[in-house]
Homo-oligomer: A and B are copies of this chain.
């Protein structure tokens, strides 16, 4: 038998498996010298390298402090390089700017998408990034689920995180509804926000109760992220418009919550429901709270406050009247936590001051958490890490 088989290919298959791996990957590999990027030194300095003998300029923009327009210099091999930092342990994103074009770091397999654009990502290990790192702890299941939204007349996609142990028990769980910001979609809280790993880590440490986390698409005109758009489709999958229409808020209550409570083992009562969101999602959280003053016991409003101006379909007269009409009902509705988060450098800082002053005027109880930084995912990861441990206790 071995003879029968071995009469073929004794030479042909030398180097076979190199070929095997290379050819199973269809995306062509750039020719050039061997190098790595990014390289994290022991002192947390980070070196970025990009090979391009013919580029006229290579720069870098990164989400760390000072990460704007860092010019790279070319060495004799044609590799452009720069070293930054030391950087604090955290997660960062960055783009290489090659002849004016924002690109991914060609050597870094880790990237994220925010709306229609991509950036490379980088985690500096340490205390500041432990909370969202892929640690050696039990991991929950992250499912992309399509559900029917009669309110928006769409079949829509969302993510549902079920905590470790969900599949092995008959336990019913509380639910956190976690809303993204303008320009984002249902991918945002796991890809940029690392919500699933934050929950894994908080639950493993006993800091958060095991819970289901539902991450919707908050753009009422979209069925799903742009990446899932049919090639035949032009309608009903547009960009992040209509945020002021209030329709997503209605669909969360009429379509999403009933779906989740029917299809998952859920503790279906107000004290086991929480909602929080950032920016556009923080606006939606406020409006959901006011329109449904007894439906949730936990609210988080991140990086947005009380807004003004008739723009993009947000009728602020109506929106302000929602406060006027419903804040007393919300106040007396039995909520347990209402937390507001903002960074000192957030461009919406003044709207948050305005919200606080307004709530104070109504003697409405909340807690305000102010951090450094601005309107960033670094802050939103921190806010989720603060908010989740407060819930369902």
What string of 1s and 0s marks CB contacts (under 8 Å) between A140-157 and chain B? Answer: 111111100000000101
* A280 in contact with B20 given A2-B320, A227-B109, A320-B1 (CB within 8 Å): yes
Closest CB-CB distance, A358 to chain B, in whole Å? Answer: 6
A278 on the B face (CB < 8 A):
yes
State whether B21 touches A54 (Cβ < 8 A).
no
**Residue in chain B with minimal CB distance to A129:** B231
Q: Which of A24, A25, A244, A351 has the most CB of B within 10 A?
A: A24
What string of 1s and 0s marks CB contacts (under 8 Å) between A187-228 and chain B? Answer: 000001000000000000000000000000000000010111
The interface residues of chain B lying within 8 Å CB-to-CB of A29 are 102, 117
The residue from B32, B102, B134, B146 contacting A28, defined by CB atoms under 8 A apart: B102
State whether B182 touches A309 (Cβ < 8 A).
no
Q: Which of A140, A228, A309 has the most CB of B within 10 A?
A: A309
* A143 in contact with B146 given A52-B100, A240-B21 (CB within 8 Å): no
The residue from B133, B224, B226 contacting A109, defined by CB atoms under 8 A apart: B226
The residue from B4, B14, B101, B119 contacting A103, defined by CB atoms under 8 A apart: B101
The interface residues of chain B lying within 8 Å CB-to-CB of A135 are 230, 232
A300 on the B face (CB < 8 A):
no
State whether B102 touches A30 (Cβ < 8 A).
yes
Closest CB-CB distance, A38 to chain B, in whole Å? Answer: 11
Closest CB-CB distance, A166 to chain B, in whole Å? Answer: 10
A6 on the B face (CB < 8 A):
yes
In angstroms, Cα B143 to Cα A143, docked, is: 4
Within residues 299 to 338 of chain A, which ones have a CB less than 8 A from any CB in chain B? 306-309, 311-312, 314, 317, 320-321, 323-324
State whether B13 touches A309 (Cβ < 8 A).
yes
Within residues 31 to 73 of chain A, which ones have a CB less than 8 A from any CB in chain B? 32, 50-57, 61, 63
Closest CB-CB distance, A70 to chain B, in whole Å? Answer: 13
State whether A139 touches B133 (Cβ < 8 A).
no
Q: How many copies does the complex hold?
A: 2
Closest CB-CB distance, A165 to chain B, in whole Å? Answer: 11
A76 on the B face (CB < 8 A):
no
A124 on the B face (CB < 8 A):
yes
State whether A17 touches B117 (Cβ < 8 A).
no
State whether B133 touches A141 (Cβ < 8 A).
no
What string of 1s and 0s marks CB contacts (under 8 Å) between A83-108 and chain B? Answer: 00000000001010011111110111
* A2 in contact with B104 given A25-B115, A63-B26, A227-B110 (CB within 8 Å): no
A247 on the B face (CB < 8 A):
no
A258 on the B face (CB < 8 A):
no
What string of 1s and 0s marks CB contacts (under 8 Å) between A109-128 and chain B? Answer: 11101111111000111000
State whether B182 touches A17 (Cβ < 8 A).
yes
In angstroms, Cα B109 to Cα A118, docked, is: 8
The interface residues of chain B lying within 8 Å CB-to-CB of A230 are 125, 133-136
* A324 in contact with B1 given A19-B347, A28-B95, A231-B123 (CB within 8 Å): yes
* A16 in contact with B183 given A106-B102, A111-B113, A377-B26 (CB within 8 Å): no
